[in-house]
Amino acid sequence: MRRTLLAAAAGGLLLAGAGCGSSDTTASAAPAQAAPSTAVTTTPPPDYSADTKKVCDRLEKVFDADLKGFGTELGKMIAYKEAEQADNAKAAQQAAGKELKEVAARVRKETAAAQDPKLKEAGASTATRLAKSATDTKLFDGIKAEKDLDKVLQGAMTNWLTPVAGHCA
């Protein structure tokens, strides 16, 4: 029965093409060329959701645990700035930068193994932003007192986390 339907459909296409008396061959050739493209099956995109959840869970741990060291060093830097101990403030700033670079390295490592190429790319972008901020004197100069901390870090954190936030909701 199936062969009969296929033969009838193929014969119908041939008759429809032959029935056109026009010398324009593109009109009669177009239906025959279009038919196979409609029968092409598409493969569904890969499902990365389970792996993405694992990667995002690890990233959350990195941000929760590893950023604490950065926060501790920032706190020291602020205390030294308020006490007008410039050398100690500079040392604490450098230590905070080092902590931030370590966070960047961990983010890069955790996302490099992700199955989703877009998450890998987002992780690399976040890591690059973190590493760049580690040496950004403007970021640290903007934090002179505790009252400056929220204002400066809110913008910085948004910048750092935006790339991966779309994947780790």
Packed helices 67-82 and 146-165: angle between N→C axes, nearest 10 degrees: 160
Specify if 150 maps to a domain: yes
Which of 87, 92, 67 has the alpha carbon at shortest distance from 77? Answer: 92
Reported confidence tier of residue 3, pLDDT bands at 50, 70, 90: very low
Specify if 20 maps to a domain: no
pLDDT at site 2: 30
> Residue 91, exposed/middle/buried by CB under 10 A (0-12, 13-18, 19+)?
middle
Name the domain count of the chain. 1
Domain that includes residue 88, residue range? 49-165
Specify if 119 maps to a domain: yes
pLDDT at site 14: 35
Specify if 55 maps to a domain: yes
Which of 121, 133, 110 has the alpha carbon at shortest distance from 63? Answer: 110
Specify if 118 maps to a domain: yes
State how far the Cα of 111 lies from the Cα of 115, in Å rounded to an integer.
9
Return the amino acid letter for 151: K
Specify if 42 maps to a domain: no
| pTM, full prediction | 0.71
Specify if 44 maps to a domain: no
pLDDT surpassing 70 at residue 98: yes
Angle at alpha carbon of residue 121, lines to 120 and 125, rounded to 5°: 115
Specify if 23 maps to a domain: no
